[in-house]
Structure formats: structure tokens, C-alpha cells
A and B are shown apart, each in its own frame.
Chain A
Amino acid sequence: MLRTNRSQTNRTLVLLLMALIALVSGAVFLAPRDATMGDAQRIVYVHVAVAWNALAAFVVMAATGAAYLRTRDLKWDAWMHAAAESGWLCCTLTLVSGSIWAHEAWGTWWTWDPRITTVFILWLLYSTCLVLRGHANEEHLRARLSAVVAILGALDVPLVAMATRWFRGMHPVAPEMEPRMLAVLLLSLLSFTLFFAVVVYCRQTILARRITA
């Protein structure tokens, strides 16, 4: 058991290191400097990656929530809890990094653009889900409540994804990128996704162990 834990942690650390090295070296050395925004544009490499992970985490929450409602197996609740925590973190980072970028690009920290608004709604849903979890003291009740909120909240995900296409706003849709910039962006997406996948996996292992204890 101890050996398994240690090897899991080591694997996590290696992946974390890989992700960070790839991202930092990519953003600083490989990606060229943006002609109009300068170095502030490099925020995009983090912003897009965490935003993608925030959406993915909500989809994971809804899927594991549905799995829990079908099977009543608390292991799915552990997945849901882990995804909610990392999703909330990603969503917060999305709002913060987006706000910094907006200040540089648009001269304002916040605007009620459709995509920003829908991401903010997503953040509120994550927060509500975590607050509700804290209120329920019975584990199956807690799991059921989170599952229902996750499934209802997942309806916001298509809105976030399509906000720039369905509604007119300021947020860029899919801007043309220089190939090296695109490569770094894809690398960043891959590294962050791997990193958060491992974080969610490790966290659910810890939570699942608490259930069986």
C-alpha cells in the first residue's frame, strides 16, 4: 500500500515537473513576442489551458454524478468531489488570468461580455456545489445533491463554449496564431490537462480511502 502511494506521488511529481518545464520554456523561449500586446499576450497560454480544464472538470463532474445516481457507488462521488475542487481552482484561475489579460488588451479589469459572464456563472455553480457539499453531513445525501447540481450546472458548459459564436461580445473567438504560438498553446493545453488529470486522480484516491475507512 505504502509503495503504491509513493509511486503514485512520484509519478505526479514527474508529470508536474514535465508540465511546468514544457510550459515555461515554451512560453518564454519558443513563443514569439506578440506584436500588439507584447509579453502580456503570454497569459493566454495559461488562460486557455485552465479554462479548458474548468470546462472538462464540470463534464467529469456531471458524468460521474450520473454514474453515481445509477449505481449509488460512493467511489463516483469521490471522483465528483475531486473534479469539483480542481474545477473550481481552474475556473478561478481562468477569471483571474482573463481579468489581467483584459486589463492589458481592453483597458478594463472586467466587462459583461457573454463568455466572461457564462464563465462567472460556472464559477458560481462550482462554488455553490462545494458550499452545498459542506452542508450535507450524510455521505449519500451529499453525493446525490452534488450529482444533481453537477448535471444541472453542466447545461452551462455548452453556453460557455458557444458564447462567442451565439452572442456578440468582445472576447476573441479563435484568433489566427503564428505556428510557434499555436504549438506552445497546444503544449500548454496538454501539460495542464495531464497535470490536472493526475491531481484529480490522486485526490479521488485519497477521498475514496476515507469512504472505505
Chain B
Amino acid sequence: MFAIEATNISHRLAGEWILQETDFRLTANECIVITGANGAGKTTLLRLLSGSMRPTSGNVTWYGHSDAREIQVRRLIGYVAHEVQLYPQLTVAENLLFAARMCGIADPRRRALQTLDVSGLAASADEMVAKTSRGIRQRLAIARATIHEPTIVLLDEPFTSLDQEGCQWLTESIRKWRRAGRAICVVSHDLTLTRRLATHVVRVNDRKVCDVTPASVDNFAPNHFVADAA
């Protein structure tokens, strides 16, 4: 069974078709990287796959469930959006604790502390999010979205603002998740990381999702993304 199966999905925003009659499939143990030009519709595609938005037409299923509003479907998905989605007036630890409580985790305090350690945020635990650096916030955003150990992890430009150590931590985490049988989908512009992480690469181009093999990522011209936009 597919972790995510999108069949014939189209999405229209402000009268413009962003995606048209396209398909997408993601299975367990797989890491698909979505690339494409700015404004091609990568974020829209990821939001459709997260169940945050409903496609104008077509179907998306998560392990066979078609209604994203079902509580059990929500438990399956961890979605890191392009924006960090954190409460600036709460501390780093409070943000994680709130997420753990919302996910219905049995011992939310313990899980929040564990997550702080695993994601290297223990030193900043008591800092207000508003006063932390962008890199810390990005780590926290990833930790928050995956605190309930989801089986499907969707990440939109997750390497943005992360330093070298942060990138290393995320790369390792993604590999670990994949080994644990999770299905991962990443939107990224970073060709090196794409090559390192991806089991499949897809490109959003001309309102469709097209298959690209990871090896052929090397052949992308340096200005590939700019060229697409034109």
C-alpha cells in the first residue's frame, strides 16, 4: 500500500491552475525529493500531500484513508512547512510541550525533553522563540513536526537557515527515519543534498510532476531552476 497516493490531482488558486491532472506516489522506506523552479507549485503540492489543503479535483489517500480530517490520518503525518509555525511568546521547551500535548502523547513532558536532547536544543530550552536565531527556530520547527514520530514526514525546504552542523543533523535524521520504515518527501533546491538523500527525484514543471532519476540531478545546469521559471 502507498503511504501517499495522489491520483489525477489538480489545484486552482486565484483562477490560475497551479497543478493539473498529475499523479504522485510515495511508499515506506522511500525519500522523494521534489525540485522545480520558484513558483512551480512545489509547496502547493506538499500542502496537498499533507492534507492541509484539498485539491480542486482528484484524490489523495494516506495509507488508504482518503479523508485528511480523520484523526488517525493526522497522526500519520508530520509536516514541516516553509514557515516555522512556532509561537514566539512561548519558550522552545513550551512549544515542544504544547505540540506533544496536542498530539496526545502519553507522557508529553518526557517526550518534549527527549526531543530537546535529540535535536540539540537542550541549551536553548528556556529561551523565548522570538529571541532565538533562525537556525534554532528551524531545528525546533522540525522537532515540533516530528515529535509524535509520524510514519509520513513531509519537509518543505528544511535545510533553510541551518548551519553545517544542523544540516548534518537533519541529513542523519532523514536517513534514520527512512531506515525505520518511514516515508519521506522533501522539497529542496539543494542539488548536493538531493543527490545524497533521494531515492527518487521528481520535478514540478508545467503544472505536472515528472520523474527524474537521482543520478541525472548531476546533469542539471547550474541555472536549471532559473531556466525553468522562464
Q: Which residues does A use to contact B, with CB under 8 Å?
A: 72, 137-140
Hey, which chain A residues are within 8 Å of B54, CB to CB? 72, 140
User: Is the interface on chain B under 10, 10 to 19, 20 to 34, or 35 or more residues?
Assistant: under 10
Chain A CB within 8 A of B12 CB: yes
B147 to chain A, nearest CB (A): 30
Q: Which of B37-58 contact A (CB under 8 A)?
A: 54, 56
Kindly supply a per-residue 1/0 record for chain B positions 1-24, scoring 1 wherever the CB is within 8 Å of any chain A CB and 0 otherwise. Answer: 000000000001111000000000
Q: Is the CB of B56 within 8 A of A140?
A: yes
Cα A72 to Cα B14 in complex, Å, equals 18
Q: Which of B44-88 contact A (CB under 8 A)?
A: 54, 56
Cα A72 to Cα B15 in complex, Å, equals 17
Cα A72 to Cα B56 in complex, Å, equals 10
Cα A138 to Cα B55 in complex, Å, equals 12
A101 to chain B, nearest CB (A): 43
B54 to chain A, nearest CB (A): 7
Apart from A72-B54, A138-B13, A139-B12, what are 8 other A-B pairs with CB-CB below 8 Å? A137-B13, A137-B14, A137-B15, A138-B12, A138-B14, A139-B56, A140-B54, A140-B56
A75 to chain B, nearest CB (A): 13
B198 to chain A, nearest CB (A): 31
Hey, which chain A residues are within 8 Å of B56, CB to CB? 139-140
B62 to chain A, nearest CB (A): 18
